């Protein structure tokens, strides 16, 4: 039981020197990467840069002990940071202190929601965020984040916005205010990142740029010509502080908290599952991941951390650098702690333009062109869903975009199960195989007195009318020669009470017209429903078959079924044989 809630107990007893070396190298590498990234992502969240380091401390330690993934790099991430900024920004708080207080309360709510969902074993909630919705939202959010950082790269003062037309308007309206020194610094930083990434992904480019930026400001006195710097960063570890729980803002924060909680978990579990495929020695548990992330955010909020999740880039670096266990996160947190204790004065002259450049290059890498093109070729309905989410996120807002995207994906799902695939089957000559006549038109035998229909979905109130319409359409096509209707029920895994009533009426109506109704291939749970609902009494046990060919042969020759055929076709938990 303890290992279930504290997975480190699984790997700690067998921890060895080779694992220690891999974790030490990986922890140092990700820690070096995390320091500038954390400060940059804090800026996206609208927080002072120091809070990015706070978010890289306690949450990493908590996840190392409670997470089931041994390589997942937990900490501040771009998407969650932007969602936080959008949600809290809508409150229009008067001061930075009120803003920080609201962010910490939001983080507490996010952690509480994730923890509750984890204990309720509701990890499946993430399934409501379909891939097209995620990709559309991520690409739009990446554009918004990148454009939002132009104020730091260009040296202009523009308000943050989550709507692209407002951002463009603000940028174009302030082009005359561009600081050439800031722009030059930002442009060089972007070019250096692109160049170094091309040479090798293993180069700690963000850290090198931070050092170069600090040196440039220090030696050339760039602050005096209007280049904005991070300024004074307090030294020391974050103290324990209970978030200010203002109940009057709870109603406004709750929708944001739910969105960030689910989206952050979705990011984390998808990354963790991807890395798990390369490490068969452990298994990722979705519900424990929810609990681990929830505890990381919950406890982190008491130590001045904003919302954290799994990071794509840091997880990849952690894995490639040799991280074997959660100890790599602990070593990474130690490096962040050392930075907070001893190195914060060195960041005084860090130019915001460099942090903005780091963010821009990082998030623009999240814009996916390949996946939409694949959808355009093969799944145009999902292509439209992706683009709808993308455009709604850009023009309406982040929270609204992802929520409307989820709503559209659910509507698409409802449409699909309300209008499922229906196939008319025929026997392939000289076999017992029954296949779709539209796919095997040259090979199937079609008998004028028999209609064999396969319905590829559960039968419920949402598609019962569609089923009835399609069935009667085919009955009418067959004409007066039709004597038998065989329903291939292999794909029907459930029949609700409304559909049961509809089936009963269909059977009785066809019987009045001299047409016998038979069911073949019904799986166990469906047979249970036929018996428990009483539908079997209307259908008749003699009209229930295991295989389609048995039903067809019975129609043609009225052959007596064998004992085993009868036993299997009529088996049900609600019927004693």
Same domain for 206 and 67, yes or no, is: yes
Is there a domain that residue 577 lies in?
no
pTM of the model: 0.79
Domain limits at 466? Answer: 420-570
- Give the integer Cα–Cα distance in Å for 433 and 549: 8
Count CA atoms within 13 Å of residue 438 on its CB side: 6
| Among candidate residues 412, 444, 479, the one where a domain is terminated | 412
Distances (CA, A) of 304 to 206, 228, 247, 297: 24, 25, 19, 10
What pLDDT is stored for residue 560 in this prediction?
A: 61
370/506 same-domain check: no
Do the beta carbons of residue 297 and residue 307 sit within 8 Å? Answer: yes
Does an H or E element contain 196, and which? helix 180-199
- Any long-range contacts for 284-289 (C-beta under 8 Å, 24+ apart)? 284/68, 284/69, 285/4, 285/68, 286/123, 286/124, 286/126, 287/118, 287/121, 287/122, 287/123, 288/4, 288/5, 288/7, 288/66, 288/67, 288/68, 288/118, 289/67, 289/68, 289/69, 289/118, 289/123, 289/265
Question: Do 91 and 48 sit in the same domain of this protein?
Answer: yes
pLDDT score of 129: 74
β-bridge mates for residue 518, sequence order:
486
Instruction: Single out the residue in 412, 433, 449 at which a domain terminates.
Output: 412
SS3 content of the chain, % helix, strand, coil (to 5): 65, 5, 30
pLDDT value for 468: 96
Inter-axis angle of helices 286-301 and 96-119, to 10 degrees?
150
Asked if 484 and 388 sit in the same domain, the reply is no
What integer pLDDT is reported at residue 577 of this predicted model?
47
Q: In 379-484, which residue ranges form alpha helices assigned H by DSSP? A: 380-395, 398-418, 464-478
Residue 345: half-sphere exposure toward Cβ, Cα within 13 Å = 2
Give the domain-ending residue among 381, 412, 443: 412
Token pair 């038979």 in the structure block, residue: 518
Q: Is 122 in the same domain as 185?
A: yes
Dist. CA 448–CA 460, nearest whole Å:
30
Nearest Cα to 574, choosing from 521, 537, 520? 537
| In a shared domain, residues 35 and 179 | yes
Asked if residue 353 is part of any domain, the answer here is yes
Compute mean pLDDT per 10 residues along the chain, 577 residues long, and list them: 77 86 88 87 91 95 94 91 87 88 96 94 77 87 87 86 87 90 93 88 81 92 89 89 86 90 88 84 89 96 96 83 89 94 89 88 83 92 94 89 89 90 92 90 87 95 95 94 95 94 96 95 92 92 90 76 58 58
Contact at 8 Å (CB) between 416 and 162? Answer: no
Q: Is 470 inside a domain boundary?
A: yes
575 in a structural domain:
no
Let me know if residue 28 belongs to a domain. Answer: yes
The residue written with tokens 């609204």 in the block is 400
Both 294 and 321 in a single domain? yes
Instruction: Please say whether the beta carbons of 134 and 322 come within 8 A.
Output: no
Residue 339, strand partner residues: none
Structure token pair of residue 550:
């048995």
Same domain, 436 and 400: no
Quote the tokens at residue 196.
Answer: 């170094």
* Domain shared by 210 and 94, yes or no: yes
Answer yes or no: are the C-beta atoms of 271 and 312 closer than 8 Å: yes
292 within domain boundaries = yes
Residue 576 lies in a domain: no
**Assigned domain for 538 exists:** yes
Written as six digits, the tokens of 291 are 């609990």
CA distances from 463 to 414, 498, 538 (A): 9, 10, 21
**Which pLDDT does position 25 carry in this prediction?**
87
pLDDT of residue 214: 92
How far apart (Å, rounded) are the C-alpha atoms in residues 125 and 113?
A: 12
Domain count, the chain: 2
Q: How far is residue 363 from each of residues 19, 288, 305, measured CA to CA in Å?
A: 32, 28, 22
Whether residues 352 and 224 share a domain: the answer is yes
Where helices occur in 6-57 by DSSP H, the ranges are: 8-11, 17-44, 50-54
Residues 538 and 470 placed together within one structural domain of the fold: yes
CATH number for 525: 3.30.750.24
| 523 in the same domain as 399 | no
């Amino acid at each position: 039981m303890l290992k279930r809630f504290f997975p480190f107990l699984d790997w700690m007893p067998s921890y060895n020197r080779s694992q220690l070396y891999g974790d030490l190298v990986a922890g140092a590498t990700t820690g070096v990467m995390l320091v500038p990234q954390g400060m940059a992502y804090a800026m996206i969240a609208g927080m002072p840069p120091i809070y990015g380091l706070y978010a890289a401390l306690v949450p990493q330690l908590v996840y190392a002990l409670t997470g089931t993934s041994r390589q997942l790099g937990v900490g501040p991430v771009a998407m969650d940071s932007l969602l936080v900024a959008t949600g809290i920004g809508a409150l229009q708080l008067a001061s930075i202190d009120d803003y920080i207080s609201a962010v910490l309360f939001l983080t507490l709510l996010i952690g509480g929601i994730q923890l509750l969902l984890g204990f309720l074993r509701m990890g499946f909630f993430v399934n409501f965020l379909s891939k097209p919705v995620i990709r559309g939202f991520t690409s739009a959010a990446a554009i918004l984040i990148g454009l939002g950082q132009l104020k730091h790269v260009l040296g202009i003062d523009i308000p943050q916005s989550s709507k692209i037309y407002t951002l463009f308007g603000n940028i174009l309206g302030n082009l005359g205010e561009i600081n050439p020194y800031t722009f030059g610094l930002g442009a060089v930083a972007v070019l250096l990142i692109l160049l170094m990434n091309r040479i090798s992904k293993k180069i700690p480019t963000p850290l090198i740029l931070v050092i170069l930026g600090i040196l440039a400001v220090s030696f050339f006195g760039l602050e005096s010509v209007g280049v904005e710097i991070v300024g004074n960063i307090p030294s020391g570890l974050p103290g324990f502080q209970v978030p200010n729980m203002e109940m009057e803002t709870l109603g406004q924060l709750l929708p944001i908290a739910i969105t960030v909680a689910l989206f952050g978990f979705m990011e984390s579990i998808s990354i963790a599952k991807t890395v798990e495929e390369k490490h068969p020695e452990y298994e990722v548990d979705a519900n424990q991941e929810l609990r681990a992330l929830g505890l990381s955010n919950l406890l982190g909020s008491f130590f001045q951390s904003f919302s954290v999740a799994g990071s794509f880039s840091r997880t990849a670096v952690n894995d490639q650098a040799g991280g074997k266990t959660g100890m790599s996160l602990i070593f990474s947190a130690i490096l962040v702690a050392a930075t907070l204790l001893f190195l914060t004065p060195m960041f005084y002259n860090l130019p915001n333009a460099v942090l903005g450049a780091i963010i821009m290059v990082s998030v623009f890498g999240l814009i996916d062109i390949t996946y939409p093109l694949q959808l355009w070729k093969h799944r145009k309905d999902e292509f439209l869903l992706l683009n709808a989410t993308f455009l709604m996120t850009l023009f309406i807002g982040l929270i609204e975009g992802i929520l409307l995207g989820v709503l559209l994906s659910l509507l698409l799902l409802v449409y699909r199960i309300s209008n499922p695939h229906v196939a008319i089957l025929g026997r392939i000559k000289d076999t017992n195989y029954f296949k779709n006549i539209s796919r095997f038109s040259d090979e199937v035998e079609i008998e004028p007195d028999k209609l064999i229909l396969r319905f590829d979905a559960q039968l419920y109130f949402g598609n019962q009318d569609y089923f009835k319409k399609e069935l009667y359409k085919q009955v009418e096509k067959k004409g007066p020669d039709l004597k038998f209707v065989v329903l291939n029920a292999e794909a029907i895994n459930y029949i609700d009470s409304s559909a049961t009533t509809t089936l009963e009426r269909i059977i009785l109506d066809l019987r009045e017209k001299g047409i016998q109704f038979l069911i073949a291939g019904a799986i166990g749970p469906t047979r249970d429903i036929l018996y428990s609902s009483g539908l079997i009494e209307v259908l008749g046990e003699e009209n229930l078959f295991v295989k389609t060919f048995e039903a067809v042969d019975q129609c043609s020759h009225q052959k007596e079924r064998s004992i085993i055929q009868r036993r299997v076709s009529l088996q049900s938990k609600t019927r004693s044989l």
